[in-house]
Amino acid sequence: EPEVTQTPSHQVTQMGQEVILRCVPISNHLYFYWYRQILGQKVEFLVSFYNNEISEKSEIFDDQFSVERPDGSNFTLKIRSTKLEDSAMYFCASSERQGVDSPLHFGNGTRLTVT
Amino acid sequence: LAKTTQPISMDSYEGQEVNITCSHNNIATNDYITWYQQFPSQGPRFIIQGYKTKVTNEVASLFIPADRKSSTLSLPRVSLSDTAVYYCLVGPGNTPLVFGKGTRLSVIA
């Protein structure tokens, strides 16, 4: 079964540094998402992306965050200047289309630790 | 989006059938009910989805009464590997998924 893959699995960075989290969505999927989960808390929506632009974003997704699909396969999340509170699991997801009959497929996440 | 309420946790012995009920009193006409499963250190995984009555797949069954104000996820004969957090989500499918706290299922040998 095709999978969403994320790299790296664990990233440690110092406060104020920029990080880029990478994702390879399932190849025929058109909608892409980033979610995050702070340890012990809920899975939170960050942003959705379709047709090379952001479709929706949450309040969490402020100016420090950006997303990009630099080529036909990768989907990236950049945090410009990391803060301690950005420490979390970041999950990428993709879906074939938008709608109830097209469930999201999640990757196994990147654990970001900001020190 | 419709608010959902699930038990925080449940315990079950191996081989038992587990039923997890989700309340969604203000479900809208065009909302569907979707369940995801999350193992530790993994992303959520789609299990099953339904609109009304009963849906069954190779993993689970979903029972939805006529008023659609609740739904029950049924896992037949659970094993230790079914220990996970189970999320009930309600929405029309054209908005981002909103996860609640889910139900932490612990399967005991």
- What is the pLDDT, as a whole number, of residue A98? 80
- Structural tokens at position A4: 């969403």
Name the E strands within chain B: 9-13, 18-23, 32-38, 45-50, 53-56, 61-64, 70-75, 84-91, 103-108
**Minimal CA separation from B76 to chain A, in Å:** 22
Name the E strands within A71-109: 75-79, 88-95, 105-106
The tens digit of pLDDT for each residue in A37-64 reads 999 899 999 999 999 999 999 999 999 9
Residue A89 forms contact with B (CB below 8 Å)? yes
Longest dimension (CA), chain A: 41
- In one-letter notation, the amino acid at residue B48 is I
Residue B63 forms contact with A (CB below 8 Å)? no
Asked whether the beta carbons of residue A44 and residue B42 sit closer than 8 angstroms, the reply is no
* Three-state DSSP state, A86: helix
- Tell me how far apart the alpha carbons of residues B64 and B55 are, in angstroms, rounded to a whole number: 9
The tens digit of pLDDT for each residue in B33-91 reads 999 999 988 999 999 999 999 999 999 999 999 999 999 999 999 999 999 999 999 98
Confidence of residue A80 (pLDDT cuts 50, 70, 90): very high
Asked whether the beta carbons of residue B42 and residue A98 sit closer than 8 angstroms, the reply is no
Residue A103 forms contact with B (CB below 8 Å)? yes
The tens digit of pLDDT for each residue in B72-81 reads 999 999 999 9
Residue B46 forms contact with A (CB below 8 Å)? yes
Other beta carbons within 10 angstroms of residue B23's beta carbon come to 16
